Structure 1
Amino acid sequence: MADLVYTAITSLDGSVADADGRFDWAAPDEEVHAFVNDLERGAGTYLYGRRMWETMRFWEQDSREIDSSPISRDYAGIWRAADKVVFSSTLDGVTAPRTRLVPRFEPDEVRRWKLAATAPLSIGGPGLAAAALAAGLVDELRWITVPVVVGGGTRWLPEGIRADLELVDDRRFGSGAAYRRYRILG
């Protein structure tokens, strides 16, 4: 059975976007971006809600921004090589290769995917991750904090969820960002 992993880059106070919906302050520098590439390299399938899909599909297209950086080109290759599942009842379709649209999140279906998968599944976006956490599907949390406090916004973890965790890895970066990897126990 493959793990379902939730990775987020957040402010120190736990937001993935500030109160205005901005997340430009979370853009990783080259050191952090290369580290994220290595984290994501093994993912076989990405699970996204509509909003996260709309953000991440940037990596599907060729662009000067991607082409100008070896680290960005590497990430684009990693992302393009993985399967993607987009959960949305409002999208009419998705046109990116290796991507399929599913109208709603069904925990039992995701459990079956985990059982059948040979590589980890990565879940992106706090709304979808909240549903997966509530269903007991998430096996691991990967948390990168950047040295900024935004004072509110979209939280990376939902309220009302309790989980015992085991710290299995941590790292500091030159920018002041920090990484922590937790296994969810039981």
Structure 2
Amino acid sequence: MGKLIYSMITSLDGYVTDAEGNFDWSVPGETLHQFVNDLMQSVGTYLYGRRMYETMVAWETLHTLPDQPPFMLEFANTWQATDKIVYSTSLGEVASKRTRIERTFDPDAVRTLKEDSELDITIDGPTLAAHAIRAGLVDQYELFIVPAIVGGGKRFFPDDVRVDLELLDERRFGSGVVYLSYGVANRTVAVP
């Protein structure tokens, strides 16, 4: 059975984008990128919302651009070889192989996907992840905390939930980024 992992880069104050939707402050360097590459080896499916998919689909053709560093090409190869499910009511078609569209987030279908999967599954994007967190589906949280305070924007965690966690792993990078991995100590409880 695969774990459902919510993994994203976030600012120190808990945002994945700033108030204008920018995330240029979060671009990983080579060491961090290689660490992510290694983590992604255990992943068999990416779950995306439309906006996150539209950001990530650039990896489908990155290998066609000249002078890409090996760590970027490695991630592109991994991304291309991994199944992707995009949850969107507005996306007409996908621009990558191994990708399908689902019109609604169905917690039971995700539970079945986890049960049937030999590899882990990531859920990427805070809006989509909020649905999985509220449904008690997320097994592990991986935060890459960037040493930046952006003061507002799209929050990493949703409001109105409580999840007790246990620290599984941590790592500091020379850039000041801190990686924290937490497992779920209990299942999600809605806060009134």
TM-score interval, normalised by the smaller of the two chains: over 0.9
- 1:129 maps to amino acid: A
Structure 1 residue ranges, 4+ long, deviating more than 3 angstroms after superposition: none
Residue correspondence of structure 1 range 33-48 to structure 2 within 5 A: 33-48=33-48
Residue correspondence of structure 1 range 161-180 to structure 2 within 5 A: 161-180=161-180
CA distance in 2: counterparts of 1:41 and 1:76, whole angstroms: 12
C-alpha deviation, 1:49, in angstroms:
0.5
* Mapped contact 2:57–2:95 kept (Cα < 8 A): no
Q: Which residue does 1:118 correspond to in 2? A: 118
C-alpha deviation, 1:131, in angstroms:
0.3
Q: Which residue does 2:71 correspond to in 1? A: 71
* Mapped contact 2:40–2:78 kept (Cα < 8 A): yes
Gapped regions of structure 2 (runs ≥ 5): 187-192
C-alpha deviation, 1:63, in angstroms:
4.0
Q: Which residue does 2:190 correspond to in 1? A: none
Residue correspondence of structure 1 range 85-96 to structure 2 within 5 A: 85-96=85-96
Scaled by the length of structure 2, what TM-score is found?
A: 0.94
C-alpha deviation, 1:68, in angstroms:
1.6
The SS at the match of 2:43 is coil
**Equivalences, count:** 185
Scaled by the length of structure 1, what TM-score is found?
A: 0.97
Q: What percentage of aligned pairs have identical amino acids?
A: 50
The Cα RMSD (Å) is 1.0
CA distance in 2: counterparts of 1:11 and 1:39, whole angstroms: 20
- 1:64 maps to amino acid: L
Q: Which residue does 2:150 correspond to in 1? A: 150
Q: Which residue does 1:130 correspond to in 2? A: 130
CA distance in 2: counterparts of 1:185 and 1:72, whole angstroms: 34
* Mapped contact 2:4–2:139 kept (Cα < 8 A): yes
Gapped regions of structure 1 (runs ≥ 5): none
